[in-house]
Chain A
Amino acid sequence: DVKVTQSSRYLVKRTGEKVFLECVQDMDHENMFWYRQDPGLGLRLIYFSYDVKMKEKGDIPEGYSVSREKKERFSLILESASTNQTSMYLCASSLEGGGNSPLHFGNGTRLTVT
């Protein structure tokens, strides 16, 4: 089974802090994704990566950046955390980039920015 591990289940950070969310997958998947999940809004794609050192903006990239130095690891960075970034963050990976490739999700990181 694919395992996608997010390093933190809960994080509390202060406004203006730089925040790193880490995600590791163990199935040699090419593609990795970061979503945020908010009540009533479903999942919204922040960034994705289809190869090492490659990244693409999703639907809501503002205020975020990402890093993919190794195939198995995909980091989400909040350059200067703000209260409107309080949310559940979900990392996912997929084997292929086609629309027919299911996503495998981590358990999420609930971030609170105070």
Chain B
Amino acid sequence: AQSVTQPDIHITVSEGASLELRCNYSYGATPYLFWYVQSPGQGLQLLLKYFSGDTLVQGIKGFEAEFKRSQSSFNLRKPSVHWSDAAEYFCAVGGGGTGFQKLVFGTGTRLLVSP
């Protein structure tokens, strides 16, 4: 069964600084990988997804993520963080097998942005 680890519970970044949120997954075949963001009091919004092809994927709000098969990682990055990026971020992995497949979510990383 697939699993996702987000090792950082909280991260604090200064506004304007770069950001990297870590995600490691476990899955026996090529995974489908997602990053979601949850602003306070809201549901989750899809930031970006990786299915195949180019290992660097671009998403909304200036975010990108890089799939590294050798490290089983799918880290989320942003070159310059804005105060509005303060939120909780979830990595998720889906399977590519036949039949109905579920997404498995990590436990989330809460991003705090300092002035």
A91 to chain B, nearest CB (A): 8
**Cα(A42)–Cα(B3), bound, Å:** 12
Which residue of chain B lies nearest to A56 when distances are taken between CB atoms in the complex? B100
State whether B90 touches A43 (Cβ < 8 A). Answer: yes
**Cα(A107)–Cα(B39), bound, Å:** 10
Contacts of B93 in A (CB 8 A): 99
Name A's interface SS.
Answer: loop
State whether B32 touches A99 (Cβ < 8 A). Answer: yes
State whether B41 touches A107 (Cβ < 8 A). Answer: yes
State whether A41 touches B100 (Cβ < 8 A). Answer: no
Query: Which residues from 64 to 115 on chain B have a C-beta closer than 8 Å to any C-beta of chain A?
Result: 90, 93-97, 99-103, 105-108
Total count of chain B residues near the partner, CB < 8 A: 28
Q: In the complex, how many residue pairs between chain A and chain B have their CB atoms under 8 Å apart?
A: 66
Query: Contacts A42-B90, A43-B90, A90-B43 given: A97-B100 contact, CB under 8 Å?
Result: yes
State whether B96 touches A108 (Cβ < 8 A). Answer: no
Total count of chain A residues near the partner, CB < 8 A: 26
Q: Contact check: which of A4, A42, A102 meets B43 at CB < 8 Å?
A: A4
Q: Contact check: which of B45, B95, B102 meets A45 at CB < 8 Å?
A: B102
**Cα(A40)–Cα(B107), bound, Å:** 6
Contacts of B51 in A (CB 8 A): 100
Residues of B within 8 A of A (CB): 9, 31-32, 34, 36, 41-46, 49, 51, 90, 93-97, 99-103, 105-108
